[in-house]
Amino acid sequence: MVGEFSKQGFNYTLQFYTYHNRYESWRVTHEQGNHTIPQPALFIAPLADPVADWIVVAGILQSEKFIPNLTTKTIDTEHWPHLEAPEEFNKILNEWLKDLAPKLQDKRQGSGEEL
């Protein structure tokens, strides 16, 4: 790791957390004018994360306004649910995908149903 970081330092790691990158991400999104993600999305939120209560964060950020086809599920893990409980995580993901597939098929066939 020392060898790798000696090449570039921390210039290209953890960029999201730097002020400049957070501002630029906001600026680009703000200027494009489209603030929603219309595609179906799944958020598997950990319940015991020491970093944040992600359900509360999603509420504060009003995620449902910007991701209208968001499905949120919770899992009793800390920060890395896919690593801490891979079987349960994959079960949630697979169930969501199985439920999503017929909806996408209906939409392709012109049912007019919005996702």
Instruction: Please check whether residues 95 and 111 belong to one and the same domain.
Output: yes
**15, 70: one domain:** no
Do 84 and 43 fall within a single domain?
Answer: yes
Q: pLDDT tens digits, residue range 3-29?
A: 766 776 766 666 666 777 778 878 887
pTM, two decimal places: 0.67
Two tokens at 106?
């209906």
Span 47-88, pLDDT tens digits: 999 999 999 999 998 999 999 999 999 999 999 999 999 999
* Confidence bin at 111 (pLDDT 50/70/90): low
If asked whether residues 68 and 88 sit together in one domain, one would say yes
What's the number of domains the chain is made of? 2
| pLDDT at 109 exceeding the cut of 60 | yes
Check residue 88 and give its pLDDT: 98
**Residues 8 and 64 reside in one and the same domain:** no
25-44: burial string, b at 16+ Cβ within 10 Å, e else: eeeeeeeeeeeeeeebeeeb
Shared domain for 96 and 52, answered yes or no, is yes
* Domain hosting residue 11, numbered range: 1-35
